[in-house]
């Protein structure tokens, strides 16, 4: 569940997490546990690096469009708004997590320096079939006054030949194929409240003519699909169980 086995290159871990990797020799053996991207490799793996919450939210919007060649994997902007539980291991008795610090407050944090940025880039490069290090993401997480949920708004350049129709079709197909992805009819219909206490990711996208930008919006519950729910999903895949076993009603 930690960051140690999310990067194939242990140097990347050491640079972004600021500490020595205690089992660097194992990182190549571990598979990044995003079933929508690496399902087959997860099925035969004996070690999984379970994804971070923000990368899950970002990648589930980007994957279907990058794979279909509809958006560019460079200068992708990932703007995420999370509930307070999304602060990860920093969830502790710090002043910034007190009720009076969070209530009636929205703020950005770790702008351009969050360790989830290289995690997004690594999987994005795989999805796009380009070299690691060529995918390029600007990632800005924000904190909003709610307990859980992440809404991720992604701004990407359309690739040549991308049309609104083809963008919608790619997402629709992704939703039909993936057990925990629900394609919504519009970006406005993607909401953190709709995925609360579930392992679902809601996704949608719109092609904005002016500015020539694809806006992709996804919602996950960072404490389920963004954490333990996805870990259970990976276990299901590893052990040949139904992928949804135990996950269709995770409760709170």
Query: Which residues sit at the interface with its own copies, rule CB under 8 A?
Result: 75-77, 79, 81, 83-85, 91, 93-95, 97-112, 117, 136-138, 140, 142, 144-149, 151, 153, 155, 187-188, 190-193, 196-198, 206, 208-213, 215, 217, 249-252
Strand, helix or coil at 141? strand
Burial of 101 (0-12, 13-18, 19+ CB in 10 A): middle
CA 134 to CA 102: how far, in whole Å? 36
CA 61 to CA 80: how far, in whole Å? 12
In whole angstroms, the minimum distance from the beta carbon of 104 to its own copies comes to: 5
Considering beta carbons, is residue 28 or 75 the nearer one to its own copies? 75
12, 53, 63, 81: the active-site residue: 53
CA 71 to CA 166: how far, in whole Å? 11
Q: Please name every residue paired with 153 in a beta bridge, in sequence order, or none if there are none.
A: 79, 217
Considering beta carbons, is residue 176 or 188 the nearer one to its own copies? 188
- Contact between residue 154 and residue 69 where contact means Cβ atoms under 8 Å apart: no
In whole angstroms, the minimum distance from the beta carbon of 157 to its own copies comes to: 9
In whole angstroms, the minimum distance from the beta carbon of 213 to its own copies comes to: 5
In whole angstroms, the minimum distance from the beta carbon of 11 to its own copies comes to: 16
- Contact between residue 28 and residue 35 where contact means Cβ atoms under 8 Å apart: no
Q: Which residue has the tokens 């699909």?
A: 225
CA 247 vs CA 5, 31, 154, 236: distances in Å: 24, 21, 27, 10
Considering beta carbons, is residue 46 or 99 the nearer one to its own copies? 99
In whole angstroms, the minimum distance from the beta carbon of 43 to its own copies comes to: 28
Considering beta carbons, is residue 170 or 190 the nearer one to its own copies? 190
Considering beta carbons, is residue 116 or 196 the nearer one to its own copies? 196
Catalytic site residue 102?
no
Torsion angle in degrees (nearest 10) through CA of 130, 131, 134, 140: 90
Contacts by 15-23, CB closer than 8 A, 24 or more apart = 16/115, 16/118, 17/115
CA 77 to chain centre: 13
Active-site residues: which are they? 53
């Amino acid at each position: 569940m930690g960051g140690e086995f999310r990067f194939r290159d242990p140097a990347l871990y050491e640079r972004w997490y600021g500490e020595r990797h205690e089992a660097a020799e194992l990182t190549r053996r571990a598979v990044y546990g995003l079933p929508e991207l690496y399902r087959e490799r997860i099925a035969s793996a004996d070690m999984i690096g379970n994804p971070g919450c923000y990368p899950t939210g970002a990648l589930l919007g980007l994957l279907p469009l990058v794979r279909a060649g509809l958006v560019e994997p460079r200068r992708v902007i990932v703007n995420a708004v999370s509930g307070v539980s999304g602060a990860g291991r920093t969830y502790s008795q710090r002043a910034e997590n007190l009720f009076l610090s969070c209530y009636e407050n929205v703020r950005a944090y770790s702008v351009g320096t969050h360790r989830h940025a290289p995690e997004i880039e690594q999987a994005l490069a795989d999805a796009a079939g380009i070299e690691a290090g060529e995918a390029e993401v600007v990632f800005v997480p924000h904190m909003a006054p709610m307990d859980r949920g992440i809404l991720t708004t992604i701004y990407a350049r359309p690739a040549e030949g991308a049309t609104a129709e083809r963008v919608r079709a790619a997402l629709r197909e992704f939703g039909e194929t993936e057990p925990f992805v629900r394609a919504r009819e519009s970006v406005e219909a993607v909401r953190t409240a709709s995925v609360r206490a579930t392992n679902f990711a809601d996704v949608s996208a719109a092609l904005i003519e002016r500015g020539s930008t694809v806006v992709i919006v996804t919602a996950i519950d960072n404490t389920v699909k963004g954490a333990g729910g996805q870990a259970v999903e990976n276990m299901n895949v590893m052990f040949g169980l139904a992928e949804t076993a135990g996950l269709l009603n995770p409760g709170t």
